[in-house]
A and B are shown apart, each in its own frame.
Chain A
Amino acid sequence: MRTLRDVKAGEKAVVVKVNGVGHLRKRIMDMGITKGCEVEVIKVAPLGDPVEITLRGYDLSIRKQDAESIEVE
């Protein structure tokens, strides 16, 4: 199973499924990370975490640990 965490900087991926529960799950979906949405990982923060991604025309910062809840292909 590939998650958003495994996507390298500069690569694109399509969301397959959102895992996780509660606040995290809700926030992920509210921000537009839903099934079928294309995301691109732009870069990793200077200290290695979090990562910056682009989706639906805007930029988002997400921790690697939280990115694990997002299945992609």
Chain B
Amino acid sequence: MSNRIALAGNPNCGKTTMFNRLTGSSQRVGNWPGVTIDRKEGKLKGQDGIAVVDLPGIYSLSPYSPEEVVSRDFLLKDRPDAVVNIVDATNLERNLYLTTQILEVGIPVVIALNMIDVVRKEGIDIDKAELSKRLGCPVVETSALKGDGIEELVEEILAAAERGAGSYPRYSDGLESYLSKVSDVIKGHVPDESVRWYAAKFLERDEMALEAVPAEVAEEVEKIAAEMENEFDDEADSIVAGERYNYIGGVIAAAVKRDDRRGKETASDKIDKIITNRWLGLPIFAAVMFTIYYIAITTIGTLGSDWVNDVLFGEILIPGVDEWLTANDVNGVLAGLIVEGIVAGVGAVVGFLPQMLVLFVLLVILEECGYMARVAFVMDRVFRRFGLSGKSFIPILVGTGCGVPGIMATRAIEGSKERRITAMTTTFIPCSAKLPVIAMIAGALFFQSAWVALSVYFMGIFCILISGVILKKWHSMTGAPAPFIMELPPYHVPGIFTVIRSTLERGWAFCKKAGTFIMLACAIVWFLSAFDWGLTMVDDINDSMLADIGKSLKWIFVPLGWGDDWEFTIGTITGLAAKENVVGTFGILFGYAEPSEVGEEFWDIVAARFGPGSLGQLAGYSFLAFNMICAPCFAAIGAMKGELGSWRDTGKAVLYQCVLAYVISLIIFQFGSILLGGGFQIWLLLAAAALVGLVYMLTAKDPFKVIGRGLLRRPADE
């Protein structure tokens, strides 16, 4: 009996939604091409010992981008026992192009005619029996979203795996004669089942496929291809692609009985007319962004956060825990750890959960409805100027939720240069874990003004754009720029369950992090802050180990205006484990005396530490800027390593981020303080030098000659 089935299909046809249906898991979905970037394996529900593999979407079996290589290699080298070719039935013609190639591989195929709910609603009539007859494989109508046709699909898969591979498409007699010539030549050099597939790929001059055979065979094939080009008076790849589409044309003419969309403007077209309109496109984009963060950060989100901080923690949890500890006579050190360390630290972080959930809901809706691809369309011109691509904006938007999936989403960017630069800069945009830090500074120093958050987002974009210009030069690799040819999927109304599930999924990931990583970090911070080096408990936190560590490092940040307070240095360091820790650490360090008043109590202390008036605000903003731009949390650094390939490059990327953060904060504070009448400081000279350096990096042709090259090079690119 078979034990591995693969889900293959075009990007955005519903593979992951189907995967979640078949296995009962909840992998990330979204209405833009390139959500899944690595293969995922799960167990088929209700069947023993059968694995289902979700593959990244591909347009053909001649891949260019790395996630497309994953899919092709899996089908050809790992050879699953059956393939479910998921086909977006609302976009049959283009989707069947891949189908013609999958059928040639020689693995049993079942076609899932997905999105059948939309097909029925839009008045399209597809004769599935006819389709099945023409393509020579079973066809099942499904709606992965609604859960229709799933059982039938499973039955067909099992039956097909038993039966073995079916037939493959027949092209015109002209092409067929060349295909059989090539087949004769390559027989014995390629797996028997896949001769047809290799023959077609060889005729197309697919380089990766040609590597599979000895040079003399490749030469022989080349002769046949040249002969065919002569006869057809066209280029070989164009002949094969044309023949495939002609074949599909025949299939569609026979199987699609009615299509009411033809020549009519659909609802999606009408929406798109407004949303990407020449004049309205940009204002709409700005309004959408502003609304999302306004809702998440200031209005609804804050209501929830206030409740968690003041009521849940302030009135219920902390007094409750306190009482329980006293009643049970718990050891003083342990009680200190629990109340002053974990509850105060984790509590300060969990207080932001409601804000994050609101942000997650809005982002999931944005990802699901189809706006992401439009954002890439609208923004491409801007981003291309700075060495990035419109698709760079998708990782950035996803990264406002969490940097880890944001960085992973860069894999859908085709150009390796653009992809690597985006991976290195995506975390400049504040993720949800940075929201607590923003809220703390805004609350402590800026009367909770929404402008603080907004300015930080703009600062993030600004840093991404200038980094595009700078990092582009860090790079000696030439090579054709990648094309930006992207499908614009029709708009969908997001499924309510998808939204709820994805939101809870992401919220839960945050809770797990708070319960493990952040809790541990808080315990360590508390321990270091409560004891001295001789491991005796200290009365004054200034005598603790933590204070010593902070004091020995705080000089680094003096030019940034953080003053004489070591706590800010410690907060920044603990932020490397997870950005929420910055607030958690302050919770422990400042909220110490009276943990029952986490909220305002420690905002006042933070404000006092940064100093009075506008200079204090400036110092606070410099602290915020540094923490937003410098190295992201460990998880994001790990994700960056995944995309950049080596720790060496990742180290350089992190170094770049930290240096940039320092430069930006230095410039903000030193020049700001002159403008605000703070008087001359010797560090102003350093800031001026940093500014000159930055301008030099932006304008000089090859500034990295001195600094050394190689960051953007990667063996696979050569």
Contacts and interface: CB of A to CB of B under 8 A. Distances in A.
Interface of A: 17-18, 21-32, 34-37, 43-50, 52, 56-63, 66
Contact of A46 (B261, B277, B384, B486): B277
B303 to A, nearest CB: 35
Contact of B414 (A23, A31, A34): A23
A27 B382 CA distance: 23
Given A27-B64, A46-B276, A46-B378, 13 more contacts: A18-B238, A25-B237, A26-B62, A29-B241, A32-B93, A32-B97, A37-B245, A47-B282, A50-B390, A56-B94, A57-B94, A61-B488, A62-B484
B59 interface: yes
A23 B550 CA distance: 52
B586 interface: no
B234 interface: yes
B276 A52 contact: yes
A62 B486 CA distance: 7
Contacts of A62: 483-485
Contact of A47 (B277, B382, B490): B382
Contacts of A50: 377, 380-381, 390, 484
A32 B97 CA distance: 8
Nearest to B256: A57
Given A34-B238, A52-B377, A66-B483, A45 B281 contact: yes
B93 A61 contact: no
Contacts of A21: 480
Interface in B456-487: 480, 482-487
Contact of B93 (A23, A24, A30, A56): A56
B282 A46 contact: yes
Given A34-B241, A49-B381, A28 B93 contact: no
A43 B242 contact: no
Contacts of B277: 43, 46
Given A31-B59, A46-B279, A46-B378, A36 B484 contact: no
Contacts of A18: 238
B278 interface: yes
17 contacts: A23-B64, A26-B62, A30-B59, A30-B62, A31-B485, A34-B242, A35-B234, A35-B238, A43-B277, A43-B278, A46-B277, A47-B378, A49-B381, A50-B380, A50-B390, A61-B488, A66-B485
Contacts of B237: 25-26, 29
Q: Which of B272, B273, B488 has the most CB of A within 10 A?
A: B488
B91 interface: yes
B386 to A, nearest CB: 13
Given A60-B486, A66-B483, A31 B378 contact: no
B400 interface: no
A34 to B, nearest CB: 5
Contacts of A25: 237
Contact of B94 (A22, A23, A32, A63): A32
B60 interface: yes
A69 B245 CA distance: 20
Contacts of B64: 23, 26-27
B377 A57 contact: no
B383 to A, nearest CB: 10
Contact of B381 (A29, A47, A52, A66): A47
Contacts of B488: 52, 59-61
Nearest to B284: A46
Contacts of A34: 238, 241-242, 245
A8 B383 CA distance: 24
Contacts of B376: 61
A7 to B, nearest CB: 16
A28 B278 CA distance: 25
Contacts of A32: 93-94, 97, 245
A23 B480 contact: yes
Contacts of A45: 276, 281, 377-378, 380-381
Q: Which of B237, B382, B484 has the most CB of A within 10 A?
A: B484
Interface in B217-255: 234, 237-238, 241-242, 245
Contact of A57 (B97, B261, B484): B261
A22 B480 contact: yes
A45 B485 CA distance: 14
Given A46-B279, A50-B484, A27 B91 contact: no
Q: Which of A27, A28, A35, A36 has the most CB of B within 10 A?
A: A27
Interface string B631-659: 00000000000000000000000000000
B645 to A, nearest CB: 20
Given A18-B238, A44-B278, A61 B484 contact: yes
Nearest to B488: A59
A43 B92 CA distance: 23
A32 B248 CA distance: 11
A57 B485 contact: no
Contacts of B60: 26, 30
Contacts of B59: 27, 30-31
Contact of A61 (B92, B273, B485): B485
Given A23-B414, A30-B59, A66 B241 contact: no
Nearest to B280: A46
A3 B278 CA distance: 22
A63 B415 CA distance: 14
A73 B490 CA distance: 28
B223 to A, nearest CB: 21
A27 B483 contact: yes
A35 B485 CA distance: 18
Contact of A27 (B242, B245, B485): B485
A29 to B, nearest CB: 4
A59 to B, nearest CB: 4
Nearest to A28: B485
B238 A63 contact: no
Contacts of A26: 60, 62, 64, 237
Q: Which of A34, A35, A36 has the most CB of B within 10 A?
A: A34
A22 B481 CA distance: 10
Interface in B366-397: 373, 376-378, 380-382, 384, 390
Contacts of A28: 483, 485
B242 A35 contact: yes
A59 B487 contact: yes
Nearest to B487: A60
Interface string B44-66: 00000000000000011010100
Contact of A63 (B91, B259, B414, B484): B484
Contacts of A31: 59, 94, 485, 487
Contacts of B373: 61
A57 B273 CA distance: 17
A58 B485 contact: no
A62 B380 CA distance: 10
A48 B238 contact: no
Contacts of B377: 45, 50, 52, 61
Nearest to A44: B278
A31 B488 CA distance: 12
B238 A43 contact: no
Contacts of B484: 50, 61-63, 66
